[in-house]
Each structure stands twice: as C-alpha cells, then as structure tokens.
Amino acid sequence: MRIHNTEIVNTFAEAFKMWAARVIITAETPRWAMEAARSMTGFATSIIGCKLEAGIEGEVPPEETLDGRPGVSVLVFTVDAESLGKRLVERIGQSVMTCPTTACFNGLEDAEETVVVGGQLRYFGDGYQISKVLNGRRFWRIPVMDGEFLVDERFGIQPAIGGGNLLILGEDTPSTLRAAEAAVAAMREVPGVILPFPGGIVRSGSKTGSRYKFLFASTNDPYCPTLRAFAPETHVPPGVGCVMEIVIDGLDMPAIEEATRRGIHAAAEAGAVQISAGNYGGTLGQYQVWLHSVLSDQYSVISGMGADN
C-alpha cells in the first residue's frame, strides 16, 4: 500500500495492557497550569526506566473545569493499578501541589476503580487540612503558603493500552524529523492518547533482550541505518538514512487506531519514504494495531483521506 509516494508496510504495532488515570490540573492562569503539567510529566517516557509513562493530553478551557479556571489534562500510564496509585501520589505531591495556585481533580469520574490520592496528600496539612463533600465526592483542602491546595480524595483508574507505535523512515535526518513532527502534530489532536517521549518522538527505539545479561532491552539494531551492513538482520531499505519512532499510549483501542491513522497520513504527506511499526511477532503484547487495517476504505472515508493500494 502507498499513500502519496510513501510505502506503508503491511505490519502491526504490538501494544500492551496498562492502567491509566487522567489528571486535570487548574491554576489562576494557563501558564501555571501548564508549568505543573510539564513538571508532572517530566522523566516519564518509558516504564523501562521511569516507572510510568505520562504526557499532556491537552488544554482544558475554564468552562469545562470544576473550579472554572484554565486547566491542562494529563494522562498517566503504568503496568498495574497498585503502582499507578503510588505514582499519582508522588507526581501530584511533588509537581502539582508545589506549583503556585494549582488545584488537581480526577479526570475519570466514571471509572469503576479508584485509588486514594488526596486522602494521602492531606497529611501534608499537619492536622490543618479540611475535607469537603460535594455531590458524594470528597475533596481535601490542604493549607499552603499561597492559600489552599484543593485535590480530589480519590482518582479513577481504568485498563488502558501502551506501546502502540509508528516507525518513520526517511532519506536523511532533516526530512525524517519533518515527517515525524507532522505525524506528532496530527496525532496529538486525538483525545485519549499521549506520545510520552520528548516532543513525541524517540530516536533510540529498543528491542527486547541484549547480549548483556543485566539489560532486558537494547538498541533496535534492525532499524539502525549505521548498522545496515553489520546487524544480523536489517529492515532499513536502500535510500533510507534515518528512522524515528513515535510511541502511542491510549485509554482505549479506538483512540490508538485513530492516532495511528492520522499519523500515517501526516507523515506520508510530509515526505516519509516508508512507514512501518515495531513488534515482537505477537509474542509479548496483547494488542495488534495493523497499519493496513486502520487505513481501510472505511477509515479513510472517516478521516477524509484516500489511500492508493
């Protein structure tokens, strides 16, 4: 399959079961809500080394937040429910409660499962904290030096999906980066997904295993252009000098499929030579996102873009 002059490889991204939470951060100004969100999502690119994956889902206008102030939505992903609760307490306590004028609210109000967050952070109030129940929902008001930090006692969590991905192959670094940037811009318009790596793009894609026993992941040598003549197997075709990866975490499969579809179209329009995806033959992940399937005629009509088969 080709879109414009870009080859779309008939392969799939192998994704994994995860747990997710949505955190709504508000503040007096959009700047301070975003400052807290950026701090909260720092060093959160991969569970391989960061214990979680997190990113900014988007801005939330004042008319859609609980306190009528400008907000930012953050999505947080971990491999299990217990660790997600711990990460939320750590990140909200250190990056949101510390940030001037912020409040923090549960963004998954319909979730069947919850974890205690504000109910843990309240102890920072040293006995001066106050709880308030509105419509059956408990909040904690924690005294801080600019007033009070308002936070939900419990945050909803839900099963989610991590590890969806696209591989963007191009002639050289500038052209490949342009194609990947175009894909990121299109994918970030989809609600319910984040792209956790810096700027949404990762150059150091990994494979499972290593020749070093103390590592369980190492460089994805089949997609390293400089190893084309040395690696046991290469997937870098002639004329390709750079590969960039985009990792996708989502609240559900439709969101990941929509982001994948938009990313493929945008990268192809921006001049990618080839678009593929990373997988392990279906042996590790519970979900498979087939590139040709998300580009079927049905989906192409929805997105308003056609594909040449």
Contact yes or no for 108/155 (Cβ under 8 A): yes
Average pLDDT, the chain: 94
**CATH level 2 (architecture), domain 19-158:** 2-Layer Sandwich (3.30)
The confidence band for 127, taking pLDDT boundaries of 50, 70 and 90, is very high
Assign a CATH topology to domain 2-14+160-303. Alpha-Beta Plaits (3.30.70)
Per-residue pLDDT for 5 more than 80? yes
Q: How far is CA 137 from CA 169, 177, 294, 304, in A?
A: 49, 46, 39, 42
Q: What is the pTM of this model?
A: 0.93
Higher pLDDT, 130 or 298: 130
Structure tokens at 239: 């004329």
Average pLDDT of 89-94? 98
Q: Using CA atoms, how far apart are residues 132 and 1, in angstroms rounded to an integer?
A: 57
The confidence band for 306, taking pLDDT boundaries of 50, 70 and 90, is very low
DSSP 49-63: HHSSEEEEEEEE-GG
Delimit the CATH 3.30.70.520 region(s) of the chain.
Answer: 2-14+160-303, 19-158
Average pLDDT of 66-74? 97
Contacts of 138 (CB under 8 A, 6+ apart): 118, 119, 131, 132, 152, 153, 154
How confident is the model over 59-68, as pLDDT tens digits?
Answer: 999 999 999 9
Give Cα 100 to chain centroid, integer Å: 25
Phi, psi (rounded to 5 degrees) for 294: -75, -10
At residue 281, the pLDDT reads 86
Q: Using CA atoms, how far apart are residues 37 and 185, in angstroms rounded to an integer?
A: 19
Nearest CA to 166 out of 235, 250, 259, 252 is that of: 259
Q: Using CA atoms, how far apart are residues 81 and 79, in angstroms rounded to an integer?
A: 7
Per-residue pLDDT for 25 more than 70? yes
